[in-house]
Structure 1
Amino acid sequence: MELIVYLAGQIHDDWREEIKSQARERELPITFVGPMEDHERSDNIGEEILGKQPNAVLKDEAASSINNLRTDILIKKADVVIALFGEKYKQWNTAMDAARATALQKPLILIRPESLHHPLKELSNHASLVVETPEQAVRALSYIFES
Structure 2
Amino acid sequence: MEIIVYLAGEIHTTWRDEFKEKAKALQLPITFVSPMENHDRSDNIGEEILGEMPNKVFKDEAASQINNLRTEVLMNKADLVIALFGEKYKQWNTAMDASSAITSNKPLILIRPETLHHPLKELSNKANVTVETINQAIKALSYILED
TM-score range, shorter chain: over 0.9
Give CA-to-partner distance per residue, 1:82-111, whole Å, 9 cap, x none. Answer: 000111111000000000000100000000
Runs of 4+ in 1 over 4 A off after TM superposition: none
Alignment: residue pair count: 147
**What is the identity, as a one-letter code, of the residue corresponding to 2:92?**
W
TM-score normalised to structure 1 length? 0.99
**What is the identity, as a one-letter code, of the residue corresponding to 1:66?**
I
**What is the identity, as a one-letter code, of the residue corresponding to 1:16?**
R
Give CA-to-partner distance per residue, 1:54-75, whole Å, 9 cap, x none. Answer: 1110000000000000000111
Which residue does the alignment assign to 1:123? Answer: 123
Q: Distance in 2 between matches of 1:13 and 1:56?
A: 25
Q: Distance in 1 between matches of 2:18 and 2:128?
A: 21
**What is the identity, as a one-letter code, of the residue corresponding to 1:106?**
K
Q: Distance in 2 between matches of 1:146 and 1:24?
A: 15
Q: Does 1:15 align with 2:15?
A: yes
Question: Where does structure 1 lack aligned partners over 5 or more consecutive residues?
Answer: none
Residue 80 of structure 1 deviates from its aligned partner by 0.5
Which residue does the alignment assign to 1:77? Answer: 77
Q: Spell out the pairing of 1:57-72 with structure 2 (5 A cutoff).
A: 57-72=57-72
Q: Distance in 2 between matches of 1:19 and 1:137?
A: 9
Which residue does the alignment assign to 2:5? Answer: 5
Question: Where does structure 2 lack aligned partners over 5 or more consecutive residues?
Answer: none
> RMSD over aligned Cα, in angstroms?
0.5
What is the identity percentage for the equivalent residue pairs of Structure 1 and Structure 2? Answer: 71
